Amino acid sequence: MNNYLAIVEYDGTGFNGFQIQPEGTRTVQEELVRAISTVLGHDMIIQYAGRTDAGVHARGQVINFKIGPELDLYRFKWSVNRILPEDIGIKTIRKIPLSFDARRNAKFREYKYYVVNADYQSVFLKKYSILVTRRLDMRLMKRAARIFVGKKDFASFASPSLSGVSTIRRIYSFTVTRDNEDVIIFRVTANSFLYNMVRIMVGTILEAGKGKKSLEDIRQAITSGGVSFASSMAPARGLFLTRVEY
């Protein structure tokens, strides 16, 4: 038996998330399983590092799968990519120990969110960022991001539909930077994330940058957990799963 790890990227615009769903719903996992199974000649099961939501993209999604025969990796990757639709691709593939599991062995996951803060958004960025024309307070947003760092209860920054799930997570870093073209990049790493957590945190920080929420509002929400900031959730199109570390 052999175990293989592949790094996958995809444009999430046309997908209803990563995880396989009822028939008729297009998902990334479904397309990957179909292509890999076609090349190998039988049905396959894949494990994955992160379950991205509808419309969310990935540059560094990690999957793994097990198969008896040893693969010619160059031929396999070329064959699968030829079958996959244009909005999914396998970037790299390598053999790994049998004990490896893409989800269980992940030490942390990194997401980036892109915001164009200008009076014009390039047509080449519209599918992969959001536009905020009002000038944002970068200094305040950097301070807001730092509030989230550490092991804390993020109940106020997750979808209200969660039930029976621990809302304690550890965020290792959260930075906000601006590049030379008025694109603001939110970069956050954590051991794992709650449903919609990254988008709600980014949306909350953006509201702070607009002067609509204070730093104290954010601190109290983390401390008390009694208020939901889900209404602040940023749109999916600006979010990328960029890296998974093992």
> Does residue 157 sit in the same domain as residue 125?
yes
103 belongs to a structural domain: no
DSSP track, 193-245: --TTHHHHHHHHHHHHHTTSS-HHHHHHHHHH--S--GGGPPPGGGEEEEEEE
41 belongs to a structural domain: yes
Average pLDDT, integer, range 111-124 = 96
How much is the pLDDT for 109?
A: 97
Q: Is 146 helix (H, G, I), strand (E, B) or coil?
A: helix
Beta bridge partners of 47: 64
123, 129 in Cβ contact below 8 A? no
> Does residue 124 sit in the same domain as residue 225?
yes
- Phi first, then psi, for residue 78 (nearest 5°) are -60, -45
Q: Which residue, of 70, 96, 122, is where some domain finishes? A: 96
Q: Which residue, of 45, 73, 96, is where some domain finishes? A: 96
101 belongs to a structural domain: no
> Does residue 68 sit in the same domain as residue 182?
no
Average pLDDT, integer, range 24-49 = 94
Q: Taking 80 as the threshold, does the pLDDT of residue 161 lie above it?
A: no
How much is the pLDDT for 162?
A: 61
> Does residue 52 sit in the same domain as residue 129?
no
Catalytic residues: 53
Domains in the chain: how many in total?
Answer: 2
184 belongs to a structural domain: yes
Cα distances from 15 to residues 38, 127, 207, in angstroms, run 21, 13, 28
Q: Taking 70 as the threshold, does the pLDDT of residue 244 lie above it?
A: yes
- The residue segments making up the domain with residue 235 are 108-245
19-23, 150-154, 226-230: least confidently modelled range: 226-230
Q: Angle formed by the axes of helices 28-40 and 73-83, to 10°?
A: 130
> Does residue 133 sit in the same domain as residue 22?
no
Question: How far, in Å, CA of 7 to CA of 80, rounded?
Answer: 13
**Domain containing residue 151: CATH number:** 3.30.70.660
> Does residue 133 sit in the same domain as residue 214?
yes
How much is the pLDDT for 163?
A: 65
190 belongs to a structural domain: yes
AA letter at 49: A
